[in-house]
Amino acid sequence: MASARSFSAIVTAFAFLAISVSSAWGQALDIPTIVTGAHGTDSWASLHYAHQFKTDIDDTLTEMSRDSVQLIAGHRFQLNDDVFLIGNVAYQGSYYDFSKNNDPAQLVWNDIHQAGLLMGVGWKASENWTLVALALGRTSGESGADFGDTLTGGAALAVDYTWNENLTTGVILGVISQLEDSAAIMPIPTIDWRFAEGWRFQFGVAEMAYPGIGPVLSYRSGPWQFALGGSFQKRRYRLDDRRGPIDEGIGQEQSFPIFVRAGISPTPKMDLSFMIGTALGGKIRSEQNGGARIFERNYDPALILGLNAGFRF
C-alpha cells in the first residue's frame, strides 16, 4: 500500500487540476452524479432541496434569492460479469427571486427547468480497471423558452482504477456542448479514499441541490455521518422571449459554496442529511441571443440551508 505521503501527493495533484480547469466545466457538472451508480449499486435515487437566502448584487439595488430542487433516479443493468449498462434521469429546478431590481431589462428571470438523460455502457476490464462510455442529452431553460433552443449534449469516458478496497482514483474525459458558447472540454479527476476507520475523502461530485465539483471530507460513526466540503457550480440556461434586450438570451450564475453536513442512515439503504453553507465567489450574468454580454456582477456571500435524501436498492 502506498505511503501516506504518496496519498497526499495524489490528493494535492487532483485538487490542483480541478481548480485549474473548473471554469471550463460549465454545464457538464452533472455527469459524475450519474457515474457513481456504476460502483456496485444496482438502483439509486436522490432528492435535494436548498434555499439560498437573499444577497446583494454589487453596484445595483437588486437582491437575489433562490430555491433549488434536484431529483435523480438511475439503474445499472448487469449484462454479464464484466459488462453493464447504466441509465439516469435527472431534473434540476432553480426558482429565482430578484427584488428591488432597478434594471429588469438586464437582470431578471424566474423559474429555470433543467432535465437530463444519460446512458452509458461499462466494462470491468480487470480486477483494477473499469471504463464507462457515456452519452448525455439535456434541456436547460426558463419557463416559456423555446424547447429547441434549450438543448445541449455530449459524450464522455470515465476511467477508474481501484488500488485496493480503500482507494479508487479516476478521471472523466468529455466534450459537452454549451448554450451560446463553445463546447466544454472536460477533464474531471475523481478520488474515493477511505484513509482511516470511519473517515473518507472524495473528490468529484459534491451532492447538493445542484451538482458541483469539489472535495468532501466525511466521517461516519454508526448510523451518523458528518461532512465538510465545497463545490464549483455553474448554471447556464436559455431565457424566454419576454426579456427585452435579452429575449431568448442566456442567464448564468456561478459560485463556490462551502458547506457542512450532518446526517443519519435509518437503514443501510437510506441516507438523510441537513446541510448549511455559504455561497462564495458568486457571479450573475446575462447575455443576448448569440452570447454577447449585457450584464455581469458579483454578488455577496449568501447563506444556504438544505435537506438531502438518498436511496439505494
The DSSP secondary structure of 170-218, one letter per residue, reads EEEEEEEEETTEEEEEEEEEEEEEEEETTEEEEEEEE-SSS-EEEEEEE
pLDDT, mean of residues 8-31: 48
Please write the tens of the pLDDT for every residue from 86-141: 888 889 999 999 887 666 556 678 899 999 898 999 999 999 999 999 998 999 99
Is the pLDDT at 25 greater than 60, yes or no? Answer: no
pLDDT, mean of residues 191-207: 89
Q: Global pTM? A: 0.86
Run of H or E including 13? helix 4-21
Average model confidence (pLDDT) across the chain: 83
* pLDDT of amino acid 104: 56
Weakest-pLDDT range from 67-76, 197-206, 235-244: 235-244
Task: Please name each of the domains of the chain with its CATH number.
Answer: 4-312 (2.40.160.40)
Task: Enter the C-alpha cell of residue 23.
Answer: 471554469
Q: Cα(22)–Cα(64) distance, rounded to whole angstroms? A: 24
The band of 267, judged by pLDDT with boundaries at 50, 70 and 90, is very high
- Cβ-proximal residues to 225 (8 Å cutoff; 6+ apart), any chain: 218, 219, 261, 262, 263, 264, 265, 271, 273
Q: Cβ of 104: how many Cβ atoms within 10 Å?
A: 12
* pLDDT of amino acid 244: 64
